[in-house]
Amino acid sequence: MNLTHLDENKKPKMVDVGDKQNTQRIATASGTITMSQAAYDAVKNDDTKKGPVLQTAVIAAVMGAKKTSDLIPMCHPLLLTSIKTDIEDIPELPGFKLFVTAKLNGQTGVEMEALSGVGIGLLTIYDMLKAIDKSMVINDIRLESKSGGKSGDFKRGEK
User: Which of the 8 DSSP states describes residue 21?
Assistant: P
pLDDT at 13: 65
Q: Is residue 120 part of a domain?
A: yes
Residue 100 lies in a domain: yes
29: in domain: yes
What is the tally of structural domains in the chain?
1
Burial class from Cβ neighbours inside 10 Å (0-12, 13-18, 19+) for residue 38 reads exposed
Residue 9, pLDDT above cutoff 90: no
Structural domain contains residue 5: no
Q: Is residue 158 in some structural domain?
A: no
pLDDT for the residue 11 = 72
On whether residue 94 sits in a domain, the answer given is: yes
Measured CA to CA, the distance from residue 144 to residue 155 in angstroms comes to: 6
- Cα(40)–Cα(95) distance, rounded to whole angstroms? 6
Domain CATH code at residue 92? 3.30.70.640
Residues with catalytic function: 127
What is the rounded distance in angstroms from the CA atom of residue 139 to the CA atom of residue 29? 12
**What mean pLDDT is predicted for residues 76-92?**
96
Q: Which domain holds residue 86?
A: 23-146
Tell me: the pLDDT tens digits for 23-64?
Answer: 899 999 999 999 999 999 999 999 898 899 999 999 999 999
